[in-house]
Amino acid sequence: MTPAFAAVMPPFDADRMHAAYAVDVVDSGPRRGTFCRVNMVSSLDGAATLAGRSGGLGDPEDQRLMSVLRSHADVVVVGAGTVRAEGYGGAAVVAEDAAWRAARGRAPQPRFALVSTGLGLGPDHPFFARALERPVVLTSRSAPPDRRAALAGVADVIVAGHDDVDLPSALAELAARGMRSVLSEGGPRLLGALAAADLVDELCVSIGPLVVGGEAGRIVVSGTEAPRDMRFVHAILGERMLFVRSARDAFAPDASVQGVD
């Protein structure tokens, strides 16, 4: 397979991006019938944040691509640290992508799933209070029972693992509920845990043309090195940012059918 490289002509071409990021959850491969894509943003020098948040690294095209990627997911999985820092709540996809999904027989909006053991986000947090689809909470047996009970009123609570959330079990539970196409938006510690458990089938990185310096962390944080080989699928140059899609071998689609030329 030859990676495809292309310049995206402004304005943002949503149809082309939907084709370039199509997901096919095949009933084969290492984990039959499930698929986990991760979407992150980075500076040129590998910073995952600018002034403590990812937003300053991106741009409107990156935001628009995020909606496209969410459109291909049944569920968008995020760690509690990201929800706290980035302020999740409300629609996952823009109206055009909601219509794109509805035209394909899917709910207009994917669901959001929160990964948390501490369950410090209460039912009144916008993540729950402003949700358009009933959210999911992925937690573990060590979570505070009163907080778990409070969230059960506003979300489907899935308990997997004892201390940390057992991510392979959590993804299997999502799949058993019909959520087979997973998009995770991090953050770095959740991505580290997903990578350590060998659950990252695709890593999409939006690279902003700036050098941050300082001591910002990387997009993957984990206790030990655990190298995972990926294969480049495409790199698309937008007005300002570079959008790189990579996949592990078993999931790498043939670039020639991706509509990237």
Ligand X SMILES: NC(=O)c1ccc[n+]([C@@H]2O[C@H](COP(=O)([O-])OP(=O)(O)OC[C@H]3O[C@@H](n4cnc5c(N)ncnc54)[C@H](OP(=O)(O)O)[C@@H]3O)[C@@H](O)[C@H]2O)c1
Binding site for ligand X (CB under 6 A): 40-42, 48-49, 52-54, 78-82, 85-86, 115-118, 120, 164-165, 167, 185-190, 193, 219, 221
Of the pair 48, 155, the CB lying nearest ligand X is at 48
Least distance to ligand X, CB of residue 10, Å: 23
Neighbours of 2 (CB within 10 A): 8
Taking CA atoms, 258 is separated from 2, 6, 245, in Å, by 12, 11, 11
Round to whole Å and give the CA distance between 149 and 101: 32
Of the pair 10, 122, the CB lying nearest ligand X is at 122
Least distance to ligand X, CB of residue 196, Å: 9
Least distance to ligand X, CB of residue 102, Å: 28
Least distance to ligand X, CB of residue 136, Å: 14
| Alpha-carbon torsion, ordered 12, 62, 128, 140, to 10 deg | 130
Of the pair 49, 255, the CB lying nearest ligand X is at 49
Round to whole Å and give the CA distance between 17 and 204: 13
Of the pair 53, 64, the CB lying nearest ligand X is at 53
Round to whole Å and give the CA distance between 192 and 39: 13
